[in-house]
Amino acid sequence: MGRTATKPKPAVELPELDSAAINQNIATMTEHSAEVMAQFGDGLPYDRIRVVNEARFYMAQSAEAMLEAGKRLIVLKEHEPHGDFTQIVTEQLGIHERAARRMMQAALKYLSPALESKRTTLSVLGKAKLLELISEDDDDLVALADGGTVAGLDLDDIERMSCRELRKALRDLREDKEAQGRLLANTTENLQNTKLELEKTRRQVETMTADQRAAELRQEVTSMAYEVEVGIMGQLREGFAKLAEQAEEQGADHRAFQAALIVHLESLLEEVRNEFDLPAELGRDQAPDWVGADMAALDAQFADGVGT
């Protein structure tokens, strides 16, 4: 059987290129590039790698210059009266007093014995980012300079980020640490409170007579039984009532399902009875004196629970 001949697809007509416009754009871009290089290129042709390396170099120089200026501001501050120091900073140096404080903080931080040897490595980040990192621990900054991370960021990450992004990452880290600190404090406080309660209970138990301890244990078990009874006569019974209502409206029959639940609960009680070798029936004349009081208390609890 011969193959069906395929129809050739219609040719797609492409718009004609405006060579004149393209050439004009290229000429404009070339002219603009030449103007930029003439003004800022130091007489060298554009080379991305060279320009990036030079930018990194001068950013480091900027950071070094800030630290050196910070050193001298510290010297001035220690030798000049406060008013004179402020006048020198604002009028003779032309910087805001707050900026001067930041430069002095940076000098104290990065020229400290702990970080002096890492100064050159960290300076590649530039002045603004060094200022953002001032609040970090010295050990963390040493680790960063040695190839580690701060806030999950290594030197290359920080170098690529904007100052705003770095500020946010550091703020998030501080908030996480504060939250962990609060959680640890709460956990420690709760643990201490639990220890105090256990110690208090231990002392109480040690001073109890055997009858008092038995009465307390019976009360605890009575409360547990009350919770089970409330669950059966309250929540379980309410659930059965909803099933019965639905059965009446829709004609469904849930009795086998309900009976299976009851049988399961009865089997659990039977297991408990057998485990502790309990009699299946208990006459009033066989019951200890405290049974009536405990059961009366349980009935009163249940009545109050249903009433609420």
Question: Which of 287, 236, 301 is closest to 262 using CA atoms?
Answer: 236
Q: What is the identity of the amino acid at 170?
A: L
Q: Which two tokens stand for residue 304?
A: 């109050």
pLDDT confidence of residue 20: 73
Task: Report how far Cα 21 is from the mean position of its chain's Cα atoms.
Answer: 55
DSSP state letter for 112: S
What is the per-residue pLDDT across 118-127, written as a single tens digit (0 to 9) for each? 888 888 888 8
What is the per-residue pLDDT across 40-63, written as a single tens digit (0 to 9) for each? 666 777 676 776 676 666 656 788
pLDDT confidence of residue 243: 92
Q: For the chain, 308 residues long, give each residue's pLDDT as a single digit of tens.
A: 555 656 666 666 666 666 777 777 777 777 776 776 666 666 777 676 776 676 666 656 788 888 888 888 888 888 877 888 888 888 888 888 898 898 889 888 888 888 888 888 888 888 888 888 888 888 888 998 888 888 888 888 888 888 889 889 888 888 888 888 888 888 888 888 888 888 877 777 777 788 787 888 888 888 888 889 889 999 999 999 999 999 888 888 999 999 999 999 999 999 999 999 888 877 666 555 555 555 555 556 555 654 44
Question: Which of 168, 164, 169, 176 is closest to 149 using CA atoms?
Answer: 169
pLDDT confidence of residue 58: 62
Torsion of CA 157, 119, 107, 91, to 10 degrees: -80
What CA–CA distance (Å, rounded) separates 35 from 41?
A: 9
Phi, psi dihedral angles at 57 (to 5 degrees) = -60, -45
pLDDT confidence of residue 207: 75
Sign of CA dihedral 170, 172, 174, 180: negative
pLDDT confidence of residue 120: 84
What CA–CA distance (Å, rounded) separates 286 from 239?
A: 36
What CA–CA distance (Å, rounded) separates 126 from 7?
A: 65
**Under 8 Å CB-to-CB from 139, ≥6 apart: which residues?**
114
